[in-house]
Amino acid sequence: MKNKITLIFSVIAVLSVIPLVANAQGGGDKKEKDVEVKCPSGIDHGAWDRLLKKYVDGKGLVNYTAWKASQADMSALDAYVKQFAAKADKPAEGNEKAASLTNAYNAIAIRTVLASYPIESIHEGTKPFEAKDWTIGGAKASLNDIENGTLRPQLKYRAHSVLVCAARSCPPLQQTAYTASNFEAQNDKAFTIWLAREDLNKFMPQEKKAEISEIFKWFKSDFEKSLSVPKVLAQYGPASAKELTEGGTQFETTYLSYNWGLNDQGSHGRNYSKINLIFDNLGE
């Protein structure tokens, strides 16, 4: 009887946290606590570019083990992130702002993982997306501030191909830092690479079906405000996506379950499950 009661309460606890898990990345509409981040202009992204080329592979997976073992490269990452702390007397604007804050988001996500590595998911930390643990433009900010408070309002749907939350279902982390002069082309390339990955998005024109990332569901409003999901799939997707969407063809859309396992080149994160995610969120 006691075991049954324990099981009942466990199920209730799990059900109560499911809505939190669905928005684990801070998805959906902007929250009041998500504030706009002002980024100082003139950030040097050279060190970040070098680190990405050294530790990120062609699949967007990170060699966290080697990175954490290198004191020099841990210090280089810290020095890079520290550049963003300066008060933004002359804040970056336009594509400079977009490129700099995209790099900041991705670098902070990796630094968050490295602080506790080895771990199975970024969610093993305490409120990794909500915590205002980082100084940007002279003010405390969180990953959600960068994403929901700043880049989504600025870039709308285009924010979602470039922000990488250290999870296996994220768009692949690119091996090159984003820059103001190349941001538009880099953004297009990130979309193309992401949609071409059959483990992340799958298109079946013969069956008139698409299985796509839950990102397209979580942030549906961003696409509706700028470029609809079918048009995004047609513009950036592989040949199968273009065939599926040709001529405004109607097709069935389902969403692939988001894998929050760590985007690690090693074994960490490979077996991370929804149950693990639920209990990591319960522990916050």
* Residue closest to 78 by CA, chosen among 37, 123, 53, 114: 114
Percent of the residues in the chain that have a pLDDT greater than 90, as a whole number? 86
- What average pLDDT does the chain have? 91
Q: Is 80 exceeded by the pLDDT of residue 19?
A: no
Percent of the residues in the chain that have a pLDDT greater than 70, as a whole number? 88
Looking only at the bridges linking them, the beta strands covering 202-204 and 209-213 are antiparallel
Q: Is 0.75 topped by the overall pTM?
A: yes
If you count DSSP H runs as helices and E runs as strands, how many of each does the chain have, helices first?
Answer: 13, 5
> In Å, how far are 1, 114, 143, 155, 209 from 150, measured between CA atoms?
52, 25, 10, 9, 33
Q: What is the pLDDT of residue 5?
A: 41
The verdict on whether omega for the bond into residue 230 sits within 30 degrees of 0, i.e. cis, is no
Mean predicted confidence (pLDDT) in 89-102: 97
Rounded to the nearest 5°, which phi and psi values hold at 105?
A: -60, -50
Element (H, E) at 212: strand 209-213
* Residue closest to 196 by CA, chosen among 233, 158, 163: 233
Going by C-beta distance under 8 Å and a sequence separation of 6 or more, which residues neighbour residue 162? 102, 106, 171, 174, 178, 186, 187, 190
